[in-house]
Structure formats: C-alpha cells, structure tokens
A and B are shown apart, each in its own frame.
Chain A
Amino acid sequence: MKSKLILTFALFLCLTFSACQNSNTNAPKFAPGDLSKTDWQTIENKARGTNVAFAMWAGDEARNRFFQRDVSRNLKEKYDINLQIVPLGDTAEAVSKLLNEKSAGKSAGGSIDMIWINGENFRAAKEGGLLWGKFAASLPNNRYYDAEAGQRDFGTAIENLEAPWQKAQFVFAFDTARFSEPPRSIDALGDWIKAHPGRFTYIAPPDFTGSAFLRHVLFHFGGGANKFQTFDDELYKNASAKTFTFLNEIKPFLWRRGETYANSTKELDRLFANGEIDFAFAYGANFASERIKRGEYPPTARTFVLDSGTIANYNFLTIPFNANNPAGALVVINYLLSPEFQIEQSRILGSIYPHKLDALSDAERKAVLEIERGAATLSAEELDAHSIPEADSEYLQRLEKDWREKVLLSGQ
C-alpha cells in the first residue's frame, strides 16, 4: 500500500518537474530588425498556433472576465493564438521581474510576451533597456491613432517602443442629490472647501491618482498644462511654491482636518459612497457610471471636468526584451488596437473609445456613437474639449517628494 503511494508521488513529482518545460515550446524567432523585411501576413502566419503571455493588471473582475473569455476566444478563432493572462497586482512587478532577468543575463525565452504599461513604469523599462524594439509604427492598426498619441508618455519619448492602446481622462464625481452645481476651477474648489469644512479630501501621493490631483493644482498656478511638457526647474519652483501654499491653506478644512488623507482610490471611493465627503475623482471618464451600475455610488452621482481641462493620458502595450514569442505579441497587440476590439470593449466595459473617428468606416463610426455611455459619463465632445496632456514625469517625482515634506509633515 505504502510503496504504491510513494510510487504515485514520485510519478507525480516527475510530471510536475517536466511540466515546467512546457511554456517555451517552439515559438518562432523574430527580431526587431526583421520588421521592415517582413510583410504582415508572414508575421500572422508565424504566430499561428503559438502561446502569447500577456502581463496585465488584473484587479478588476469584469475586465479579467472579458479578456479571459471573449478576447481569448476571438484570438483563437481569428489567429489560432492561445492568450495566457499573467495577472499583476501592479505593473511595477513585471518591470522589476524583467530588471532581475536582465541582470541575471536571461536575454531570451522570457515568460512575458507583452505588457500593459504607461508612465513611470515605461520610463523605468526604457531606461533599463527592458524593451524589445521599435515596433509600433509597423503595426497596420496604428493608423487608427492620432500621431500625437504615440509621441510622449508622461514626457518620456516613446520612439515606437510601445503602442498607444487606451485613453483615460481624469474626472471628478459629485452627487446631484447633495448640490447641483460643482466648482469648476481650482480657485472655486478652494473656496468651496473652506465653506464646507470636512467634506473634501484627496489621495495622498505617490498614489497614481492622488498625484494627478496635485498636478491639476500645479498646472493652475503654473499657467496651464502645455508649459509642463519638458522639465523647467524655474517653472517648477514658482508653481510648486504656490501649489503648496494653496494645499496648506485648505488643509484645516479637509476631511479629518487634513491630519490624514485617503490612502487609495478605493478609500476615496468608499468615503464618497458613504457620504463622508462630497467629491471623488479617478482616471476614466466612465468610472462613476460603472460604480453606479455596481451599486456602489448613488444613482444621482454625476461627473465633471475643470473649465481649464483635466489630464487625459494614454496607456500602452509593449513587448519586453526577452519575450519568447514577439511575433505572437505583435499580432495580439495589433488586434487589441483594432476598432473591432475597441468597440467590443467599450460595449462590455464601458471604456472610452480612443480612436480618431474620421479613420473609421461608416459602420464602425455608427457603432461607436451608439455605445451606451452611462448617465454619469460626460459626452465625448465635452471630454475632448477639456482634455489636457500629462506633464513630464520629472514634475511628478519632484511634486510627490516635496508634497510629503511641505504639506503632509508641515505644521506638525
């Protein structure tokens, strides 16, 4: 009896140990230099029958379900590609994994074929030499995007190392059941906060969203977002000094008298949903509509943007330097850039359609315009008219660091 049991165990061990070899089976070799010499059909043929490992932030059940079921099925049917999701809690996990692999000299046969990325993670990946090559301009579906979308990612030159994928605009949420007209400028917001003590807070940087709120204040005192596209020390010093004065002025009127701040989007959401504060904010013009649909926000919640505009950024898809199957990754990325995918995603996840409308066929344009946007989501025209670009990521890092010293710890 016992010896049989041990034998079974030994067999099982052999199986698990050999199973680890499975992931790297016969993926076609493909280098960035081959792109110009190869036509797209050949790349699609090479990718047929392969596995593509897509590392993506996986904290949203609806998105996970959409990718693991619908997107996987479509890729299998159209290109005979097996999509494997590598779930990440934070994209920085993938970047640090690649950094480790780079320093250990693992330059091929990596376990990630493509990553969903932007901002500081892209900058770190680019500076660390963790990216595969300049591929974005070679994708047939790149033509659907504004050329401007592929220029800079938080001030870092993209140089075709990543392909623009989705657009997220920063919006504020408020509840029309509490008041009908929200403050639409930083000055008006400041006055509102002083008139309503304890009803506003923001997320403490370096949280991604909290840091974005700070940049809106910085832009306001620095003469607009366009001045912040490349780093200027003088501009930063002037604008940030006024920013910190403003933030310290409103501090005693914040939730819990500014002794503490919300620590995540999740907490800000909870405070707003529980009626403890009067404003929430997030990247994603549809976020309030989604929360209403899930029953988290009251149905009377609506969103608004500042008259001077709110930050809109793109997020991107890229291929790591040691991708095992770059040809497969190229085909998947190209599919994810297609109007077909984008329209389906907008339908299912309510995300904002990121393409130029005039690049679409009549049928596609009609489909885009018919997508249900949700009652709390602003119109595409209003969002576009109030869309401002991200700042160079040097401003981000300085602002996050100085905020801690000059606002969080000041007066203690």
Chain B
Amino acid sequence: MRENSSKISVRTKAAVAAFAWVIGLPLAWLTVQSFAASWRFPALIPPAFNLRAWQYLFDSSSGISNALINSLLIALTVTFLAIVFALPAARAIALHNFTGKNLLLFVLLLPILSPSIAAAIGGHALFLRYNLTDSYAGVILAHLVPTVPYCVLTLTGGFSRFDVELEAQARTLGASGWQVLRFVTLPAIAPSLLLSAVFAFMISWSQYLTTLLIGGGRIITLPLVLVNFQRGGDEAVTAALTLIFLAPTVLFLAVTAKYWREN
C-alpha cells in the first residue's frame, strides 16, 4: 500500500514538474524579456534591464489601461449574457425530446463550426446596416456569436445529470419560482455553470478580428494593442502585454489546481 502511494506521488510530481516546465518556462522567458533593455544573440541573459515597457503600460496616456478595462467589461458582460441566453437552450436540449432537436443543436453550434473570419467579415456588413459598428453594444453582440455555443454545450452536460423532480419537490414545499432557481437548480448545475463562465470569458477576452472589424478601431481591447506592438517589433512591450493577456488563464489554472488539491 505504502509503496503504491509513494509511486503515485512520484508520478504526480513528475506530471506537475512537466506542467510547470511547459507553462512556467514561457512565462519566465516573457518576464525576463519584458524587463530587457536589449537581448541579442549570443547573450544568454539580457545585458541590461529597465522598466521602460512596464512604465509605458501603466502610463495613463498610453491608453493601455483603458484597453484593459474595455476587455474586462466586455468579457464580463459577454459571460453574463451568454449564460443567460444559453441556460434555457441547454435545459431544453438536455431534458426534453422534440422533433428537430438535432437540427436546433446544429444551428446552435454553427458559429463554432464555420471559420470565424468569414463570420466576422460577413457580420461586419450586417452590423453596418443596423448601425451597430464602432460601439460597445456591437462588439458585445459579436462576441456572443462564438461564446453562446460553448455555453450551451457545457450547460447541456450539467442539465443532463439534473433531476427535474427536485424542482417539483421544492415547489410542493412552497418555494417560489425564484427560490427554486436560486436554491435548487443553480446549485445543482454549479460546476458546469462555472465551466461555461470560464469558457465565455476566455473566448471574449481573446477575440481579435471580430473586435477589430465591429469595433472599427474605436473600441480598443487588449488583443488589439498586443497585435499592434507585436507587428511593430517592440519585444519588451509585447512581452509585458502578453503577460497581462495571459493573467486570467494563469489565474484560472491556479484556482483549478488548488481546487483539485483540496478535493
């Protein structure tokens, strides 16, 4: 028994080390690069360091803090709306059988099956006609297109293990519709709810082309700034921006790892 458990822990340790290597090494490299004054071959370590890139990022006139706030607000709104739209659809698909169910599923998944560049360019013409370009509303709406399908998929998984009888029981015990949702349904699907929220947030957070086209350069988000600097060849600023761009992912990973360890 004892031997067995120590074997597992060695294997786990190896897995954690590999994971840290794959995730940690690029992050470490980016961190060093963001402070490097210059870093040329064949120097193994940058010969000089400075705070130029980070100072620029936190300089209010650079507009990068605005881009960060835009990215956060848009991603949070998209997450909320995507879940609100996906909940009824996921519930219907998981719990009911009706004609045309597969067709409905296909239509719901269409946005992630078709190439996003086609959707973005075609969508731009449509959004122009309804005067939705260059606005937050338009960008949020455009981000919902690829996010809702993922939310529907993950929430369907949650609902498929959900026993509807529980709701009926709560109702017979005198709970209101709101109370049923609050104390019975949502807690029951909490894990998939959390998962779809993470999905929706990350998808919206990383949109580039859609934001560029629909936002028309007026709604500036983090990926837009990042691509400008990457193309411009400023490696320190690009590295610093990439670190900020990766922050939510790293945060989610850390939280998940902690959750796993505790359970």
- What are the residues of chain A within 8 A of B129 when measuring CB–CB? 104
Q: Which of B140, B218, B237 has the most CB of A within 10 A?
A: B218
Of A13, A68, A97, A103, the residue contacting B62 (CB under 8 A) is A68
* A residues 261-282 in Cβ contact with B at 8 Å: 264-266, 269, 273-276
B216 near A97 with CB under 8 A, answer: yes
- What are the residues of chain B within 8 A of A294 when measuring CB–CB? 37-38
- What are the residues of chain B within 8 A of A57 when measuring CB–CB? 232
A16 near B218 with CB under 8 A, answer: no
- What are the residues of chain B within 8 A of A61 when measuring CB–CB? 52-53, 56, 229, 232, 234, 237
A25 part of interface (Cβ distance < 8 Å): no
B163 part of interface (Cβ distance < 8 Å): no
Chain B contact surface mostly:
helix
A31 part of interface (Cβ distance < 8 Å): no
A336 part of interface (Cβ distance < 8 Å): no
A72 near B227 with CB under 8 A, answer: no
Q: Contacts A87-B228, A89-B231, A111-B216 hold; do A16 and B62 have CB atoms under 8 A apart?
A: no
Can you list 25 A-B pairs, Cβ within 8 angstroms, ordered by A?
A16-B77, A20-B135, A23-B218, A53-B218, A58-B228, A58-B232, A59-B228, A59-B231, A59-B232, A61-B237, A64-B62, A65-B56, A72-B61, A86-B218, A87-B224, A89-B227, A97-B213, A97-B216, A100-B124, A100-B125, A103-B125, A112-B216, A274-B42, A295-B48, A296-B40
| Nearest CB of B to A210, in Å | 15
| Nearest CB of A to B55, in Å | 10
A65 near B62 with CB under 8 A, answer: yes
Q: How far is the CA of A85 from the CA of B136 in the complex (A)?
A: 17
Interface residues on B, range: 35 or more
B128 near A295 with CB under 8 A, answer: no
B41 near A274 with CB under 8 A, answer: yes
List the B residue with the shortest CB-CB distance to A17.
Answer: B137
B248 part of interface (Cβ distance < 8 Å): no
- What are the residues of chain A within 8 A of B59 when measuring CB–CB? 65, 69
Q: How far is the CA of A300 from the CA of B62 in the complex (A)?
A: 32
| Nearest CB of B to A88, in Å | 7
B58 part of interface (Cβ distance < 8 Å): no
A29 part of interface (Cβ distance < 8 Å): no
- What are the residues of chain B within 8 A of A69 when measuring CB–CB? 59, 61
A19 near B220 with CB under 8 A, answer: no
A148 part of interface (Cβ distance < 8 Å): no
B73 part of interface (Cβ distance < 8 Å): yes
B217 near A88 with CB under 8 A, answer: yes
B11 part of interface (Cβ distance < 8 Å): no
List the B residue with the shortest CB-CB distance to A16.
Answer: B136
A2 part of interface (Cβ distance < 8 Å): yes
B62 near A87 with CB under 8 A, answer: no
A90 part of interface (Cβ distance < 8 Å): yes
List the B residue with the shortest CB-CB distance to A20.
Answer: B135
Q: A residues bordering B, Cβ < 8 Å?
A: 2, 9, 12-13, 16-17, 19-21, 23, 53, 55, 57-61, 64-65, 68-69, 72, 85-90, 93-94, 97, 100-101, 103-104, 106, 111-112, 264-266, 269, 273-276, 294-296
- What are the residues of chain A within 8 A of B137 when measuring CB–CB? 16-17, 20
Q: How far is the CA of A72 from the CA of B237 in the complex (A)?
A: 22
A94 near B38 with CB under 8 A, answer: no
A273 near B40 with CB under 8 A, answer: yes
B182 near A2 with CB under 8 A, answer: yes
Q: How far is the CA of A88 from the CA of B237 in the complex (A)?
A: 16
B138 near A59 with CB under 8 A, answer: no
B218 near A59 with CB under 8 A, answer: no
Given A55-B217, A59-B229, A86-B218, 4 new contacts (CB under 8 A): A20-B134, A59-B232, A104-B125, A112-B216
A296 near B218 with CB under 8 A, answer: no
Of B37, B38, B128, B237, the residue contacting A106 (CB under 8 A) is B128
| Nearest CB of A to B130, in Å | 10
B217-242 CB mask vs A (1 if < 8 Å, else 0) is 11010001101110111100100000
Q: How far is the CA of A41 from the CA of B63 in the complex (A)?
A: 32
B135-148 CB mask vs A (1 if < 8 Å, else 0) is 11110100000000
- What are the residues of chain B within 8 A of A9 when measuring CB–CB? 77, 80
A275 near B136 with CB under 8 A, answer: no
